[in-house]
Structures are given as C-alpha cells and as structure tokens.
Structure 1
Amino acid sequence: MSVQGTILVLDGVSTNRIMLKVQLTAAWYHVVQGERLRGLPTLLRRSQPDLVLAAQTLPDGKAADVKKLLAGDPTLADIPVVAITQQNDKAARIQALADGLDDVLAYPFKDTLLLAHVRSLLRIRGKQQELRINDEPKSIGFAEPQTAFYKPPPAGLVALLAHSTRTNSTWRKALSKQMPNSISTHTLPNLKGILSAPAPDAIVVELGPGAAGQTILSDLRSRATTRHSALIGVMQGDNADLAAEALDWGADAVCQGGFETDEIVLRLKRHIARKQTDDKLRASLRKGLTDSLTDALTGLHNRRFAMSALDQIARKSLNSGRSFAVMVADLDHFKSINDRFGHSVGDLVLTEVAGRLQRTVEKAGFVARIGGEEFLICIPDVPQENALETADLICDRICAEPFRLPDSQLSIPVTISIGLRLCEPWSLNRSGSPFLAGDLLKSADIALYAAKKAGRNQVQIRPDAA
C-alpha cells in the first residue's frame, strides 16, 4: 500500500473519471485513470493500486472482468474492486456482488460516502496484508501442499442484532432459506448474548437514526469476542451520511434501502469467507511465532526465546533491585548414551529430562533447551539460598530415578551438572556498559565447566564479582 493510497479509476466516461479524481485527490489519495480493459494489465503493474473503482460497464468489458484479471495475478489478487452502477439499479448492484466485486456504489453519491467506502476497504486490505509476511502466506505455514486433502470451510456462525424480536424473526426466516449457517438472534442494545456465546463469523446489525447503531458497531469492533467478526449494517432509506458514519465506526459493509435478502446473503458469504481465511492466517501466524520460540523435540523454549527472556529479566532486576539466578545445566556423558543405545533413545532421555526440569522449576522461572544436551534455567526474584536449593533439587531429581526405556526392562542412569550464576542488580551494568544476556550465559558456563571438572553431578556457583 502506498503512503498516500493509490486509487485506480476505470470509466469510459471522461467526466466521471474527472469527478472521481477531484473527490479523491481532495482527500490526499493518488489517482490513476483508465477507461477500458485493453492495456489494463500493464497499467496495474505500473501503478500497483490499493483500490480500483470501476464502472459497472466499460467500453470493452465489465467491472467483473477487472476483478477476474486481478484474481489471476497473485500479486494483485487482494486489491479490492468497487463497481459503480447507475442510480436505483438494484439488479446491477446484486449482479456486481454475485460477480465477486468487493462493494458497489451508485451514482450520484456524496463525497462522504465515497471516502467512507474507500477507507473501509483499505482498512480491511491493510489488516489482511499485516497477516502475511512478504505477501507469502506460506512463509508462516499457511500454504498447504498441492496434495493436501481438501476440507470444505465451515458454514460459519451468523448473529442477527435488530431492534425487535419481530425483525429478527423475519430476517432469520429469510436467510435460513438460502444459507446453511447457524443463525442466532439478539435484540439491541443488549450485547450480552453475542459476547457470551461463541464468536460469530458475521453480525448483521440494524442501523437507525442517531448514534446508537454506530455506537453498537464501535462497541462490537472493540470487544475481543467480536473484534474480527464481519459487521454488516442494514438501514432503511438512502441516508448517505448515516451509511458513511457506519463504515467509519467499524462496519465492513452497509446495505441501504432495508433488508434485501439476496444482497445480504451475497455480502455474508463474501465476508464470512474472508474472515475465515483471516482466522487461518492468524492461527498460522501464532503457530509460526510459537514454533520459532520452541524446541521441537522437548517442547521447551529454545535459545532464541531464552536470550530475549534473560535480557528482560535482567532489565527488570535493574528496576526492581531484586536478584535473579541463571543456571546452565548439561547432561553428563550424554554422548555415551547415544553411542550405546542410539539417537532415538537419546531423544527420549532429553524429553524426560525436559519434563523433570519443567516440573521442578514450574512457574518460578523458565527452562529452555539451548544446545544438544544443554539447558538454561532462569529464576527471577530469588535470593541466593533459594537458587542453590533449586539447583540441588534439579540434580537430585535427574539422578534419583533411572530413565526407563519403553517396552524394555532396561533403565539408564543419568546425572546432570549445573553452573549457577547469582545476579545482583548492581553488577549488571558496571562502568555504564550495557547489559548483555550473553555475558551472563558465559559466566554460568564457566561455573558449569567447574562442576564438570570437579567430578560432575553437582552444582558450582559463580557469584557476582565485587
């Protein structure tokens, strides 16, 4: 998306293009103009628009052809296209939505309504782009192999929010004939039912005069339960100012002229599909972030997480004046386990060690696997005697019970050595030098080396230097 926002206006009538350019330029958008499909691919690649406003009928095609052209290019597929129809042409509006257009505007329209539509669509596209890394969903694990089994998307949950139970009943009956979705009904202004139920994929909201309807939209958009739900406003009449306000207050679409079933169904299908795609991207992104901070074998945190967390704990210590402990733990003679029993058994031992470490430390601090058989344990807000007790307890729990192999009577004795660094706040930034997590890790490593040299299966302490 460009800094200003680039809008491509496609219309065979020059006066229409000029009028739109004046309206959009006044709002600080960069406007590019075209009049036909011929040459459009080159124009799209050159201008890279953020939004396309296209007349329903062009000299050599339709707005739907523009949408198909964009959909065929992965780098342009997410660009929204708005069809501009003639006044009071209900059939053209329904057809545009059925053709996959993102929204419809009818001449003549106010600047406020045009710009509200533009802002809403750019906002939706911006959110979608934020869910992608370098515009490649596969980079966060969203893309699936070509051979993956196709699983149809769920029908989605729809909530109806009207001013009366009678209106809700009428809407529900009309939608149920055309949609397989689970539909719930709720009465304005009470949101308790929606907020306490499973998050709906889409909410159809009855809008009326005054600020009540817009306030409901804003409220729904701010709640964790409904933040990502598609919001579709329904209003009687053609109040452009009210429609513009509804879009700016959070609606993804506004249906003017009352509840038109065909239009509502088309909008619901489109926005539910978009919302479900965004949900998958969000879940994939969360999983990708978690995986990037997690050791795949043991489920513990990995080195990347550990170094960042250690840095944060140290900085918190500087502010709080409380000490913390850093331990580096390493299994003794682990190579001999791999050599004798194989790496699969070695992996089982590492996994069991991780579990024992985690159960020992629990919520007092964190445990991370930072190397092959090396672990980092950090415990904030802990005095020296308690840190030493925890380190000794770790040693005891590792060596007290041999590691039993599945489907075998064989058990493997395992011990662990620990280097403990006790950290006082005054020592973290001596001489005004910045704190580095790596310095503490090296210091604990020195203590670990001392534990190995002293015979293993023990704790050695490296206190702060005076």
Structure 2
Amino acid sequence: MAGRILIADDTATGRIRLKVDLGEARYDTLIAPAPGAVVAMAREARPDLVLLGAGSLTHCAALKSDPATRAIPVIVLEGAPCAATRRAALRAGADEVLTKPYAAPGLLAVVRALLRRRATHEDLARRHDSAAGLGFAEPRPGFLRPGRVTLVAPTPATGLAWMRGLRAVLDHDVTCRTRGEVLGATSEVAPDAVVIAADLDAPGAGLRLISDLRSRGATRRAAIVVIDTADDPATLPMALDIGADAVIGGNFDAEELALRLEVLIDEKRRADALRDGLEARLNLALIDPLTGLYNRRYAETQMNRIAEEARASGQPFALMLLDLDRFKRVNDCYGHMTGDAVLAETARRLRANVREVDLLARYGGEEFVIAMPATDLASARIAADRLRRVIAERPFRTGQGHGPIPVTMSIGVQVCAGPDGTGEALGAMMREADAALYSSKAAGRNLVTFAQGKAA
C-alpha cells in the first residue's frame, strides 16, 4: 500500500466515496465511525494523512495541537465553495482544503503532494538526528530575516493589485517580478516563496515556469503557490505533480494566500535549518578543521569511487602521496602553532594548484593525498612536479614572529592505466605510491618518484 489514510468525512456517503477513490489508488484506508472519533484514532493508528469534513474544524485544531499527531497532514473537504470556510480551515491547521464534489485526480494529486512533503521533512529530521547521535554539536541558529515572496502575475496591473493586497496581511517582503527576473535570481536573493498565475502570457505558461524554477539551484526549494483564476479542474493535479505546493482556484484572495504562505515559509525554514545543520555536522565528520581539506575517512571513500569510475571508463587515473620533509624540525624549532600554520599554508597552495575534479585530502599528520581522474603518466608527472615546486620555491611566512621558513615536500605517484594496464586494486596502488614516496625521501627529499620508476 502507498500509505495509510484516516477518513473522517461529515457524511457516510462521503466516507464511502473517499474509501473507493483512495482504495483504487492502492492506499490503505481507515474510516472513523464518527468525526468525533478521529483524534483518538489518529493517536492510536498514526495514519499518514487525515481527511476531515468542514464541520470538524475543532477536531482539525485538536490534531494540530497534539504533539503526537501535529505532523500528520490534514485535508478538509468543504461542501460548497466558501472563502470564509477555507480561511477558517487553514487557521485550524488544515494543510489543504478541497471543495465537493471533488475530482478524483485532484484529490489524489493533493494526497501525493502532502505525503511527499511529509516524507521529505521526516527524512531530513532522521538524518539530522542520526548526525546528532554521533555527537556533533548543534549549529547556532542564525538571524531570522523576513521571508521573501515573489509574485509573477499575468500583467503589471494585476501584479500591483496582488502585491498591495498581500502586503496588507502578510509580514514578509513582497515584490513583483517578471518570469525572466525570477528565473535569474541568485541564491543570495532567491525567494522563499513564489506565487505564480497559472496563465501568464499564454495558457499554461505559469505551469511551465514551475518546472523551470524546480530545475534551478537558487529556487529549487522555494515554496510555490499557483493562482488559477479560471479554476480549471485540470490545473490542480498538473501543478502539484510538477512541483507546486498549493493551488488556489478562483478569484485572488489575499487572506487565504497569506495563511498558506505563512505555513509554507515556516516549513521551508525548518527544512533549510535541518539541511544546514546536517551539512554542518557532516562537514565536522569529513573536513579536517586545521586545513579545511577533506579528511582520511572521506578520501578513502572517494578514492574507491574514482577507481571504480576509471575501471568503468577505461581512463587512467593518478594517485599521489605527498609528505612534508623534516616537518618535526619545524615543530621543534618554531613551535606547534607555527607547524599548524605551515600545514594550513601547504593546504592552501596545494588547493590552488589542483583541478576542481581532483580529490585533495589531509591523510594524516603532515601527509596529503591527491587522486586525479582522467590523468595519464605524462600529465601526472607535470602535475606532481608543479606541486613540489609550489611548496619548495617560496619560503613560508607564518606570521608567528619568525622569518621565512624553507619547506620542501616529497611525493610518491602511481598511475593506473585502466583495463589495459596493471589493473591493481586501490590498496595496492596506495602501497606502491607509499613506497615511491619512501624512495623520494631516501634519495634526498624534495623529489617526485613514480612507482617502479626513478626520482624526478
């Protein structure tokens, strides 16, 4: 079954029809014997979604005020179109309001959209909690700025009227933009919510804009509300299935829109906070705090991926182990703070001289590793010697009260030529690169040595 849905419509015939429509879509349904039983049944059965009649708004409010059930999406079914009823349902906590007689495709599209939203938020929360369980600190909350709401209306005059009406009832920044302007938004000024007319300069143009917004990084996670003044029954399922969060049919209602936007912006903020917290915690697990490079744990995972891709594509890749020469002397002569500064500057120089596609990580102590996809022997030789020179040719100035400190680096390299080459496993490549590094040290340091080759 696709999910469990608790049906508590006001009428017996309504409950039966909902059971049939949802059953045909392979949803598991529970029917409350009376609307008053819905709260107790929801607490016990923990359904994925609840359907209520418009006469049960007190039960809707009870569900949303109970910590055990507040995350369950609620759809309210009203008996006839009524703006006051819709607003009352939204204030009671309803996630969506549909008017009877509803069209089954529209109902099912709303159910799918709400279940997707809940699943996404729960997945983020689970990953966030898993990271917290590893002992990583909670990131500090940032400043909560007003939300950014962008209106994309069919005409400038309509947009101005929408903006004036919405600003009177919504405590967020509201602006009007053209289709091109909203698509050109950068992440720094990206909207938290976009309100789009279903038909802009042509029928269906608003729906096409939804797809464009969802394909761009800056607007991918913005809340999207569609205003369908034509109240076309086909618009609701199409808009929701391509990424809209809500569709308002009929005349523009600033109050209803404001109620929906408050909820959607709050949900977006909570989801963004979970993503940001998860990213920060993952960085703590994968990033070396001194150098800002990836750590050994991440490097080993990514090197396996690079090796697999090289085997699949038949392209060679290079593996380098790099070690600062006589680094202990730096610590002994200048102190560990200076040694840390040398490591951080080494990382900066190396990062500036590898490609974006290359993997650079601190492997431990004063040792670094670089994996270079699609790199043959000749290219690896050029790259390794360049890296050796960027360390050796310019003494380090650490700002620790010492003069310039000469630093050199020894490098060991192994190149896998793909299926036509030696075909060694990653562990063997690492051992051979390490042996080459040892040869560089033994031959006098500040050298590049290739596995089974001569110092360069």
Deviations, residues 332-377 of structure 1 (Å, cap 9, x unaligned): 3434544555433332221122223334445584432111221112
Task: Please list, as runs of the form range in 1=range in 2, the aligned pairs for 1:113-128 lying within 5 A after superposition.
Answer: 113-128=106-121
316-325 vs 419-428, greater mean Cα deviation: 316-325
Q: 1:62 to 1:360 in 2, by over 3 A?
A: closer
Q: What is the alpha-carbon distance in structure 1 between the residues aligned to residue 142 and residue 293 of structure 2?
A: 33
Q: 1:220 to 1:298 in 2, by over 3 A?
A: closer
Deviations, residues 291-319 of structure 1 (Å, cap 9, x unaligned): 54432211223224433443444455556
Structure 2 counterpart SS, 1:163: coil
* Corresponding residue of 2:62: 65
Structure 2 counterpart SS, 1:240: coil
Alignment gaps of 5+ in structure 2? none
Task: Please list, as runs of the form range in 1=range in 2, the aligned pairs for 1:3-14 lying within 5 A after superposition.
Answer: 3-11=1-9, 13-14=11-12
Q: CA deviation at 1:387?
A: 3.5
Q: 1:317 to 1:234 in 2, by over 3 A?
A: closer
The root-mean-square deviation of aligned C-alpha atoms, in Å, is: 3.5
Task: Please list, as runs of the form range in 1=range in 2, the aligned pairs for 1:75-224 lying within 5 A after superposition.
Answer: 77-134=70-127, 136=129, 139=132, 151=143, 153-186=144-177, 191-197=179-185, 198-207=189-198, 211-224=204-217
Q: What is the alpha-carbon distance in structure 2 between the residues aligned to residue 48 and residue 396 of structure 1?
A: 64
CA contact (8 A) 1:353 1:398 kept: yes
Q: 1:229 to 1:150 in 2, by over 3 A?
A: closer
CA contact (8 A) 2:3 2:27 kept: yes
Structure 2 counterpart SS, 1:370: strand
Q: 1:144 to 1:57 in 2, by over 3 A?
A: farther
Q: What is the alpha-carbon distance in structure 1 between the residues aligned to residue 376 and residue 56 of structure 2?
A: 76
Deviations, residues 129-157 of structure 1 (Å, cap 9, x unaligned): 3434447386499x9859x5674x32222
* Corresponding residue of 1:230: 223
Q: CA deviation at 1:441?
A: 0.8
Deviations, residues 96-150 of structure 1 (Å, cap 9, x unaligned): 2123321122333232332222122123223333434447386499x9859x567
Matched letter for residue 124 of structure 1: R
CA contact (8 A) 2:322 2:409 kept: yes
Deviations, residues 84-106 of structure 1 (Å, cap 9, x unaligned): 33323432321121233211223
Q: What is the alpha-carbon distance in structure 2 between the residues aligned to residue 13 and residue 162 of structure 1?
A: 39
Q: 1:65 to 1:85 in 2, by over 3 A?
A: farther
Q: What is the alpha-carbon distance in structure 1 between the residues aligned to residue 183 and residue 91 of structure 2?
A: 31
Task: Please list, as runs of the form range in 1=range in 2, the aligned pairs for 1:420-431 lying within 5 A after superposition.
Answer: 420-426=413-419, 430=423
- Number of residue pairs aligned between Structure 1 and Structure 2: 446
Q: What is the alpha-carbon distance in structure 1 between the residues aligned to residue 242 and residue 408 of structure 2?
A: 62
Q: 2:431 aligned with 1:442, yes or no?
A: yes
Q: What is the alpha-carbon distance in structure 2 between the residues aligned to residue 407 and residue 211 of structure 1?
A: 64
Deviations, residues 206-246 of structure 1 (Å, cap 9, x unaligned): 33596454444444444444432222222336543443443
Deviations, residues 235-293 of structure 1 (Å, cap 9, x unaligned): 33654344344333433212223111211111122112222333333444445555544
Matched letter for residue 164 of structure 2: K
Q: What is the alpha-carbon distance in structure 2 between the residues aligned to residue 185 and residue 360 of structure 1?
A: 44
Deviations, residues 143-195 of structure 1 (Å, cap 9, x unaligned): 9859x5674x32222222222222222211211222243333246xxx21221
Q: 1:45 to 1:116 in 2, by over 3 A?
A: same
Matched letter for residue 375 of structure 1: F
Q: What is the alpha-carbon distance in structure 2 between the residues aligned to residue 165 and residue 217 of structure 1?
A: 20
Deviations, residues 39-64 of structure 1 (Å, cap 9, x unaligned): 845x44553322111234449x4211
Q: CA deviation at 1:381?
A: 4.6
Structure 2 counterpart SS, 1:7: strand
Structure 2 counterpart SS, 1:62: helix
Q: 1:140 to 1:184 in 2, by over 3 A?
A: farther
Q: 1:82 to 1:138 in 2, by over 3 A?
A: farther
Matched letter for residue 443 of structure 1: E
CA contact (8 A) 1:221 1:228 kept: yes
Matched letter for residue 63 of structure 1: C
CA contact (8 A) 1:417 1:452 kept: yes
Which residue, out of 265, 268, 271, partners 2:261? 268
Structure 1 counterpart SS, 2:293: coil
Structure 1 counterpart SS, 2:101: coil
Q: 1:145 to 1:21 in 2, by over 3 A?
A: same
Q: 2:292 aligned with 1:295, yes or no?
A: no
Q: What is the alpha-carbon distance in structure 2 between the residues aligned to residue 359 and residue 113 of structure 1?
A: 54
Task: Please list, as runs of the form range in 1=range in 2, the aligned pairs for 1:380-459 lying within 5 A after superposition.
Answer: 380-384=373-377, 387-409=380-402, 412-426=405-419, 430=423, 436-459=425-448
CA contact (8 A) 2:131 2:281 kept: no
CA contact (8 A) 1:161 1:186 kept: yes
* Corresponding residue of 2:270: 277
Q: 1:249 to 1:360 in 2, by over 3 A?
A: closer
* Corresponding residue of 1:22: 20
Q: What is the alpha-carbon distance in structure 1 between the residues aligned to residue 375 and residue 388 of structure 2?
A: 19
CA contact (8 A) 1:221 1:250 kept: yes
Per the normalisation by structure 2, the TM-score is 0.83
Structure 2 counterpart SS, 1:278: helix
Q: 1:382 to 1:177 in 2, by over 3 A?
A: closer
* Corresponding residue of 2:245: 252
Instruction: State the percentage of identical aligned residues.
Output: 36
Matched letter for residue 436 of structure 1: A
Matched letter for residue 441 of structure 2: K
Matched letter for residue 50 of structure 1: D
Q: 1:418 to 1:22 in 2, by over 3 A?
A: same
Q: What is the alpha-carbon distance in structure 2 between the residues aligned to residue 447 and residue 154 of structure 1?
A: 55
